[in-house]
Structure 1
Amino acid sequence: MRFAIGLLVIMTTMTSCQSEKTISLFNGKDLTGWHVDVPEMDTVPNATNPFLVRNGMLVSLGDPRGHLITDAGYKNYRLSVEYRFAGEPGNCGVLVHSSDPRALYKMFPKSIEVQMQHGDAGDFWVIVEDIEVDNMEERRGPRAEWGTTEGKKRRIPNLTDDSESPLGEWNEMVVECVGNEIKVWVNGDMVNYGYNATASSGQIALQAEGAEVEFRKVALTPIDKLSK
């Protein structure tokens, strides 16, 4: 049965005195605070839940494909995610400002994806939302081909090619979302910055998208301005 989201919203205006109150979105024990949306689980009785906790880490097995989504929504925050591809390199992503489920390809929630695919960490992929960057046509392609739905140019590549750790080693991705701006760092390198996003709040999601990924940290800190 398709999951109907009853969104618990945590979206207050943050002050600077709140900016150091980091919360862990993953408790190291179970998936409290998250729910799974995996289309195959609707119709295949014995389908495996691709999200689990193993040795104190949150693990995305990669298949069947879908999303692990926070029950709560957030705005104005810094999200720090430590992850690695423990086996074969592959694809995954962090989705911010997530809302309507299965809005794209009957799979992806309406959101802005920050790509974690090995070799492309920090790309933006727009999913029925949108965002702008500098040098937009150079980075995204011909304007006439842009879009946010199936068959359109939805990818905005990151600014670096060598920020990721070697395969099997840990990476830290930091995503800051303030108002309609999003800024991304990978292992300390600023790799993407976007503005005029069509969403400024929502849930946060992690993907199962074909490759096993381990997460040892998913932490959120309220902020009121982007880091430089």
Structure 2
Amino acid sequence: MKNLKTLALLFGLVLGFSSCKSEPKEKTDGNWRNLFDGETLNGWKTVMGEAPFEVKDGVIIGTAIFNTPNTFLITEETFGDYILEVDIMINHPSSNSGVMVRGQYDQSGRGGKGLVYGYQIESDPTDRAWSGGLYDEARRGWLYPLDLNPDAKSAFKMGEWNTYRIEAIGNEIKSWINGQEVAYVVDDMDKSGFVGLQVHSIYDEAHVGEKTYFRNVRIQTEDLEPKPFKGDVFVVNTGYNELTDLEKQNGWKLLFDGESSDGWVGAYKETFPEKGWNIKDGVLTIQGADGSESTNFGDIVTTEMYSAFDLAFDFKITEGANSGVKYFVTLSEGNTGSAIGLEYQILDDERHPDAKMGRDGNRTLSSLYDLKTSTKQARFVRKPGEWNQGRIVVYPDNKVEHYINGVKVLEYVRGSEEFRELVAQSKYKIWENFGEAKEGRILLQDHGDEVSYKNIKIKTLQ
């Protein structure tokens, strides 16, 4: 069986190489303008790394070389709003690539060696399969990993030509691969920049000579007609408390309007706290106090109850902060202190002692507090003072998922044998049927530390 798989892979690679010759699209096609003439690299330049680009049979070919940084072939012209199409083919898992969108270049970066940074629509040939996702090169990291749109992970085909469509219009960036809707990001960091094609750095000599292929690079910059997404695709919005038409169409609602406390009250109270919780410039902030749990200004909860839902929220912590977002809060326990509920932990893992308590890290950021540890990587977490995106998905069958910055970090099933065993080993074992309520409120915790929130949105699931 192993030999058959090897033969199949080699056969696929041979087909890929034999089909490398370009079949260029018509040069005159509506408002499209070719950025690549099919014969030369006129209008392009190579920056950062030393990987070579050449033109053969109407195709741009980038070749990986050993021990050099990422190499980018970038347009000498810059663009603002546009629709871009490009075909990409990759034949080896080491040939990570991507398309810079409104790319930026700092000639003085890296000690005068130059630095490319900004939006990149990914070509990911690994098993992770995040092709079409949005990566903020040399800046914020992943903005749209494909854990947010797992159905699109199969869109990119290894050893075949893949047609990318990328729209950068206003503050929206959307991507398609082979007609499949992939990423949708609302962000206003860069208004204009170059188009760039990447050959990724390699540090394994076995991968020297692997090639990445590009053809049919064309752009529209006038009379743009955006192509609307039609599917139930998650939208990442780094702005403040606004929903796109797609989100409204798919049932999303804001839990915080950016201006008022509508929809929220103090836990065990009938009104919103008069002190401690502040709303300013579209941000909801719990004021820092003495670091103690729910003894200062108090938790706040939604006035509505939820059962199956998709909840997303942006949060920003201060150094050493501890807080949490709880769900299935019933307020029926009659306890003192913080209300009881399942908790998405919010914590400065490096500076707060709670990160070393509990069992196996189950009190760290994005974990199911005191129950299950999140399997996050440090590179996907942003520092105190920067915005992180949290997400909790509760399906109608009681499966639950936690995400941090678009990456899924844990899952479990409420009421399952495994879940009840976790509860029996936790601080929650004294509460009968903990975490198994049919419905409950969403809670933002006052733990005596300053934490800010925006873009709190929810969608009920059927």
**2: CA distance, partners of 1:225 / 1:104:** 39
Residue of structure 1 in register with 2:79 after alignment: 74
**1: CA distance, partners of 2:196 / 2:165:** 14
Give 1:215's aligned amino acid.
F
Q: Secondary structure at the match of 1:29?
A: coil
Contact (CA 8 Å) 2:100, 2:195: kept in 1 or not?
Answer: yes
What TM-score, normalized to structure 2? 0.36
**2: CA distance, partners of 1:27 / 1:124:** 27
**2: CA distance, partners of 1:56 / 1:87:** 21
**2: CA distance, partners of 1:56 / 1:204:** 19
> How big is the shift at 1:87?
4.8
Give 2:215's aligned amino acid.
R
Q: Secondary structure at the match of 1:120?
A: coil
**2: CA distance, partners of 1:26 / 1:204:** 11
> How big is the shift at 1:176?
0.6
Q: Call closer, same or farther: CA 1:186–1:99 in 2, change over 3 Å.
A: same
Residue of structure 1 in register with 2:142 after alignment: 154
Contact (CA 8 Å) 2:120, 2:134: kept in 1 or not?
Answer: yes
Residue of structure 2 in register with 1:227 after alignment: 227
**2: CA distance, partners of 1:179 / 1:124:** 16
**2: CA distance, partners of 1:200 / 1:33:** 21
Residue of structure 1 in register with 2:181 after alignment: 190
Q: Call closer, same or farther: CA 1:104–1:115 in 2, change over 3 Å.
A: farther
The reply to whether residue 57 of structure 1 matches residue 64 of structure 2 is no
Give 1:29's aligned amino acid.
E
Residue of structure 2 in register with 1:140 after alignment: none
Contact (CA 8 Å) 2:82, 2:169: kept in 1 or not?
Answer: yes
**1: CA distance, partners of 2:115 / 2:185:** 21
> How big is the shift at 1:156?
2.3
Contact (CA 8 Å) 1:104, 1:127: kept in 2 or not?
Answer: no
Give 2:226's aligned amino acid.
L
Structure number with bigger Rg: 2
Counterparts of 1:20-99 in structure 2, within 5 Å, are 20-40=30-50, 49-63=51-65, 64=68, 65-87=70-92, 90-99=95-104
The reply to whether residue 114 of structure 1 matches residue 114 of structure 2 is no
- Deviation string, structure 1 residues 84-128 (Cα, Å, up to 9, x no partner): 114555200100111223657966412201101212211111136
**1: CA distance, partners of 2:30 / 2:58:** 24
**2: CA distance, partners of 1:214 / 1:126:** 22
Q: Secondary structure at the match of 2:176?
A: strand
> How big is the shift at 1:227?
1.0
Structure (1 or 2) with the greater helix fraction: 2
Unaligned runs of 5+ in 1: 1-18, 41-48, 129-147
- Deviation string, structure 1 residues 59-84 (Cα, Å, up to 9, x no partner): 11133431111000012211101111
**2: CA distance, partners of 1:69 / 1:80:** 15
> How big is the shift at 1:196?
2.3
Contact (CA 8 Å) 1:177, 1:226: kept in 2 or not?
Answer: no
**2: CA distance, partners of 1:196 / 1:28:** 33
**2: CA distance, partners of 1:161 / 1:155:** 16
Contact (CA 8 Å) 1:183, 1:226: kept in 2 or not?
Answer: no
**2: CA distance, partners of 1:104 / 1:112:** 19
What TM-score, normalized to structure 1? 0.70
Q: Call closer, same or farther: CA 1:29–1:208 in 2, change over 3 Å.
A: same
**How much identity, in percent, do the aligned residues show?**
26
Size of the aligned set, in residue pairs, is 179
Residue of structure 1 in register with 2:442 after alignment: none
**2: CA distance, partners of 1:193 / 1:81:** 18
**1: CA distance, partners of 2:57 / 2:197:** 19
> How big is the shift at 1:208?
1.3
- Deviation string, structure 1 residues 19-62 (Cα, Å, up to 9, x no partner): 9321111111110000111345xxxxxxxx51111122111113
Q: Secondary structure at the match of 1:161?
A: helix
- Deviation string, structure 1 residues 175-225 (Cα, Å, up to 9, x no partner): 011011101001101100111231121111111114511112111112535
Contact (CA 8 Å) 2:48, 2:116: kept in 1 or not?
Answer: no
Q: Secondary structure at the match of 1:99?
A: strand
